[in-house]
Amino acid sequence: MTITADVADVAISIDGLHVRRGKSPVLHGLRLSVPRGQVVGLLGPSGCGKTTLMRSIVGVQQIESGTVTVLGQPGGSAGLRHRIGYVTQAASVYDDLTVRQNLDYFRRVLGAPAGDTQRVLEATALTPQAERLAGDLSGGQRSRVSLATALLGSPELLVLDEPTVGLDPVLRVELWGMFHRLAASGVSLLVSSHVMDEATRCDRLLLMRDGEILFDDTPAALLASAGKSDAEGAFLEVITRQGPPTPARHVLPRKRPGHGARREHS
């Protein structure tokens, strides 16, 4: 199920997106939109294409065909570089710098205000670790440093690839609270996860499997349409109704040049 919205209310619009890795099709003609000012969850099992979709959105993935429009511009446009915060699954930090030094470095690259370093330290609860070397941090703390770099400069869109993996339950709850506070301030967030219990924390859901979007609506609509009381059971019901992918879904159109790419900063 897909609900359309006015262009002014859409942060991300994708139409007919096909992507392949080598000879293998990964995304099969995706069509979706992400509303502005909401926390949108991209959920599905590992290997279903979530990261490829996110890379296509931020402009670092070569696409086969289709269009990706982000904040009113083609995905990967130079004008988007300071408007999008991107967090990859692997923490992007310099181990030989302290947390504060990492943030100061990326702040200068982005041209963000001097006070931004302290602001994002506090937003991600990293102030106690500010003077520690990034290489000495736990995996969860390193992930938080990557998230903090993405918050520098007050981006309009955050694309977060499994940001809560490896975090303890208390910190996960705190981060989801921060995501919703950001959304309330007007920031749009696309957050991927393979943990289905995080589905109910989102304003909207994109359920993905085998390179296709199976469901696009609110968590309440998912539970109601599937007749289930939990997100995992509802997702399994959606899969059952969808059935196995057919070969026709995986036929790609003739190749054409993809849109531009940019270097990842976080």
Residue 172: predicted pLDDT: 84
Residue 265: predicted pLDDT: 44
The whole-angstrom separation of Cα 44 and Cα 37 is 22
Q: Which of 76-80, 242-246, 256-260 has the lowest mean pLDDT?
A: 256-260
> Helices 219-226 and 231-242: crossing angle, nearest 10°?
60
Average pLDDT over the chain, rounded to whole? 87
Residue 164: predicted pLDDT: 84
pLDDT at 67 > cutoff 70: yes
CB 90 within 8 A of CB 147: no
Edge-to-edge strands, sheet with 24-35? 24-35, 10-21, 65-70, 73-74
Any idea what the Cα angle at residue 187 is, between residues 225 and 160, rounded to 5°?
70
pLDDT, tens only, 5-50: 456 789 999 999 999 988 899 999 999 999 999 999 999 988 999 9
Residue 242: predicted pLDDT: 76
Average pLDDT for 112-126:
93
The domains of the chain, with CATH numbers, are 1-83+156-244 (3.40.50.300), 93-154 (no CATH)
Residue among 131, 152, 137, 165 nearest 51 (CA): 165
CA diameter of the chain: 55
pLDDT tier at 241, thresholds 50, 70, 90: confident
Buried b (16+ CB within 10 A) or exposed e, 143-175: bbbbbbbbbbbbbbbbbbbbbbeebeeebbeeb
Residue 265 CA from chain centroid, whole number: 15
pLDDT at 264 > cutoff 60: no
Q: Tell me what percent of the residues of the chain surpass a pLDDT of 90.
A: 61
| pTM given for the model | 0.84
Rg (CA), the chain: 18
pLDDT tier at 211, thresholds 50, 70, 90: very high
Average pLDDT for 112-117:
94
Residue 8: predicted pLDDT: 72
Q: Tell me what percent of the residues of the chain surpass a pLDDT of 70.
A: 88
Residue 124: predicted pLDDT: 87
pLDDT, tens only, 151-199: 999 899 999 999 888 777 888 888 899 899 999 999 999 999 888 888 9
Average pLDDT for 222-232:
88
Query: Which residue did the predictor score with more confidence, 98 or 245?
Result: 98
Residue 111 falls in which region: left (phi positive, over 0), alpha (psi -120 to 50) or beta = left
